[in-house]
A = this chain, B = another copy of it.
Amino acid sequence: MKKNIGAKVRGFPTPIILVGTTDENGRHNFATLAWAGICCSEPPSIQISVRLSRHSHAAIIANKAFSVNIPSNKFVVETDFCGIASGRNLDKPATAGLKVEPGPVLGVPLAADFPVSYECRLTHTVHVGSHDLFVGEVVSCLVEESLLNEKDAVQASKMEPLIYMTEDAYYDLGPRLAPSFNVGKALMPGREQGA
């Protein structure tokens, strides 16, 4: 039995990412956000949604570029800090002890010690409401080498990413359940049983 709790978003698993930008004074900033996701395969694109009041918002519009950095679970305190503090008032990367390196294509600041980072070139801005939705085309994907297998696939169990549950908490990624584009074939009509 379901209850209608109204026009709310609860119980929605999301990634948790740090968006890297450079402000008009040349200062690097990392802003944590969870309203983000992949939004296109060709060209590979990521959407991030940023509250209009946040310091990163102006920097993204000015530079037309940003980075997306995925923390591993050992950076949960730094991740939460970069969602609470504002880059207007302090140097967040230095305060959090996060090493910054420039992206190889766009020069946007990357979190050097995080397992995966992307450089994105801004392609679309959508005014939704409290947040602007920015679409960025991925121009590079930087992965910690020890996480890659021989086909340059990322091994999630070694990556140990964080998952965010809205208005709740950070979680670890759990056990691998089933491969994708695979287990559902069992339900396909006409599939021979036992074949």
CB-defined contacts of A139 to chain B, threshold 8 Å: 7
Number of copies: 2
Q: Quick one: which of B37, B49, B141 contacts A4, CB cutoff 8 A? A: B141
A161 to B164, CA, bound (A): 12
Across the interface, do A38 and B10 meet the contact criterion of CB distance under 8 Å?
A: no
Across the interface, do B84 and A185 meet the contact criterion of CB distance under 8 Å?
A: yes
Q: Closest approach, in angstroms, between the C-beta of A42 and any C-beta of chain B? A: 4
Residue A56 at the chain B interface, CB threshold 8 Å: no
Residue A31 at the chain B interface, CB threshold 8 Å: no
A70 to B138, CA, bound (A): 27
CB-defined contacts of A169 to chain B, threshold 8 Å: 156, 176-180
Instruction: List the interface of chain A (C-beta within 8 A of B).
Output: 1-15, 34-47, 49, 51, 70, 73, 76-85, 90, 95-96, 104, 112, 115-118, 123-124, 126, 128-131, 133, 135, 137-145, 147-148, 152-154, 156, 159, 161-189
